[in-house]
Chain A
Amino acid sequence: MAEPLLSIRNLQVQFRAEAGWVTAVDDVSLEVGERDCVGIVGESGSGKSVTALSILKLHDPATTRMPCGTIQYQGADLLRAGGAALRRIRGGEIAMIFQDPMSSLNPVLTIADQIGETLRRHQGLTEAAARKRVVELLALVRISDAARRADDYPHRLSGGMRQRVMIAMAIACRPRLLIADEPTTALDVTVQAQVLELLRELRRELGMSVILITHDLGVIAEFAERVVVMYAGRVVEQAPVDDLFRRPVHPYTMGLIDAVPKLDGDAARLTMIPGRIPGPQEDIPGCRFNPRCALAQASCRVAPPSMLALNALQSARCPPRVAALGAQHG
């Protein structure tokens, strides 16, 4: 891969709690190339949304800090970017859509106004030109009767329609990177498929890179090219999507894949990972997955493991498994 579009290095995110700062995301590194589609997967509480929000610095600065790490976008560190530079990138270069389309749209502004202000902000369009473009965008995200819909308020639209509006808003200025944070989670199953299909088509048409955040491995399998698995605020495995499903390295990834219902319908094979994800303030010595891990060894409880490469494309934060698999192949 040539110079990546976006590269996150050793990102750490901390939130203010009653008893000081707690670390929600630690040592997260990932890269997104031109026209790349990276899926970030993990349970809720794994830090995947926190990571995504950090890219555009959307956390509340009063209660959040990012003490170390860099987020490089086209040679500039977004974490150190401020004011005008950051606002030019937000919505213009990097756009984001969120999980809940119900609450993510402003209830007192029309659709046209909300999409149009992005265009006016970044492309300097006039009111009339922006409106014309809004109707085109709504048609592009397959909203029928776009001209009339543009003047509606969000509450008049269904959940799937609202997410389409969010997508139209995000792609309005032809961003080079789209961050989709659980874009289908709040939607009905049938609508989920339509929205994913729309995202796939738009990605091809517009040639943008996508970071897709989800807890659903099924969505990842369909959509992503590369996968980043997160657990308890850390990246535990990175791999191309086919390699990940064919040969998961980290025991947590294995557990996740086993928890996906298979179409052959053998219910006995559907297993769950015992226990629950630890909160950011819980202090677990060694590997943060070790209390739930069937393969845990004594060494796993001593020092926090670092990411180890199995090969050029796949790496995982599990020294015993990487060593075992490496020996098999080597």
Chain B
Amino acid sequence: MSDVAITAPAVVAVPRRSGALRRLFRHRAFVIGFCIIVLLTLAAIFAPVISSADPAAMKIRFRFRAPSQAFWFGTDQFGRDVFTRVLYGARISLFVGFSVCVTSGLCSASLGVIAVQFRRIDGAIMRLMDALMSFPAILLALGIAAALGPSVSSVVAALSVAYIPAGVRIVRAAGLTVREMDYVKSAQISGASGLRIVTRHILPNCLGPLLVHLTFIFAYAMLAEAALSFLGVGIQPPMASWGNIIAEGRDYATEAWWVMLFPGIAISLAALSLNLLGDALGDFLDPRLKGGG
């Protein structure tokens, strides 16, 4: 939940072999991660189908019921069904994670390519990124989210900004290495346009490292969203988010442990699966670091 791993900016193109996907699915970590995240996504999408309960419906009569057949994850202080709230919380968490991924991914790719292609403003871009990176990501997001006011979109905006610098560094490092390759230089000499070099050579080679990085960002963003919501500057009640369910359950943690236990397990599972996916993709794109050595 704290900061972004700087994945090694190894330049590796996405292998385009036909068996690539099959090989990926033979990777145990990938399969486990993939299955968990697909299950969580399906649970989020079909939340109303899986549970007929209303996540916000308060039934004081049923408050603090321990997990049972009727309430799988028990109920909270307002008698709301925790299982249903965790299901609906998955929608928010996954949406925030995915949106941060896409937004910061697009911004990092554009800024990184601009830094590579237009060497004159490279310095300016990188100093700006250095400045943003001087803050721990969670603190930067906290400040921005606080200024924007608590809402889903401000959490997404804050986290996207917080995770852009690391992405830019990765794209830039990969792009600069590719630019020095002989085949790109010869393309340049033979008069290929800047746009063509970017789309044909630089972008495809940045894609692998960026993809691995974004998978980790997905996990970090979900953990950070939970943290922000826990601190009260993220998703506000009564909307259910894994972070704020834990925050609400915190005061009753000793007696009604189930309220805060299950959403925590959900976040951990989601982050675990994405970290597994990221590791597997990293292995796959840069087998040098795989166990083999």
Contact = CB atoms under 8 A, between A and B. Distances in A.
Interface in A42-95: 60, 62-63
A64 to B, nearest CB: 11
B292 interface: yes
What band does the interface of chain B fall in when counting residues whose beta carbon is under 8 Å from A?
under 10
Interface string B278-293: 0000000000000111
Contacts of B293: 60, 62-63
Contacts of A63: 292-293
A60 B291 CA distance: 12
Contacts of B291: 62
Nearest to A18: B23
A21 to B, nearest CB: 14
B286 to A, nearest CB: 16
Contacts of A16: 292
A18 to B, nearest CB: 9
Interface in B16-42: none
A63 B287 CA distance: 15
B23 to A, nearest CB: 9
Give the interface size class of chain A: under 10
Interface in A240-285: none
A62 B292 CA distance: 8
B26 to A, nearest CB: 10
A61 B107 CA distance: 45
A60 B292 CA distance: 9
A63 B291 CA distance: 10
B125 to A, nearest CB: 32
A62 B290 CA distance: 13
A61 to B, nearest CB: 12
B278 to A, nearest CB: 22
Contacts of A62: 291-293
A284 to B, nearest CB: 25
A6 B52 CA distance: 79
A60 B293 CA distance: 9
Interface in A7-40: 16
A76 to B, nearest CB: 29
B284 to A, nearest CB: 13
Interface in B261-293: 291-293
Contacts of B292: 16, 62-63
A63 B293 CA distance: 9
A63 B292 CA distance: 7
Nearest to A63: B292
A303 B28 CA distance: 41
Nearest to B23: A18
A103 B292 CA distance: 20
Nearest to B292: A63
A69 to B, nearest CB: 24
B181 to A, nearest CB: 22
A241 B293 CA distance: 38
Interface string A113-130: 000000000000000000
A167 B293 CA distance: 27
A62 B293 CA distance: 10
B106 to A, nearest CB: 36
B22 to A, nearest CB: 12
Nearest to B26: A18
B280 to A, nearest CB: 16
A86 B114 CA distance: 56
Nearest to B293: A60
B228 to A, nearest CB: 42
A19 to B, nearest CB: 12
B18 to A, nearest CB: 16
B272 to A, nearest CB: 27
A16 B292 CA distance: 9
B274 to A, nearest CB: 26
A76 B3 CA distance: 55
B25 to A, nearest CB: 15
Contacts of A60: 293
B293 to A, nearest CB: 7
Interface string B25-67: 0000000000000000000000000000000000000000000
A197 to B, nearest CB: 37
B239 to A, nearest CB: 48
A223 B124 CA distance: 59
A60 to B, nearest CB: 7
B208 to A, nearest CB: 20
A59 to B, nearest CB: 12
A274 B291 CA distance: 38
A16 B291 CA distance: 12
B116 to A, nearest CB: 29
- Give the top 7 A-B pairs by smallest Cβ distance, nearest first: A63-B292, A60-B293, A62-B293, A63-B293, A62-B292, A62-B291, A16-B292
7 contacts: A16-B292, A60-B293, A62-B291, A62-B292, A62-B293, A63-B292, A63-B293
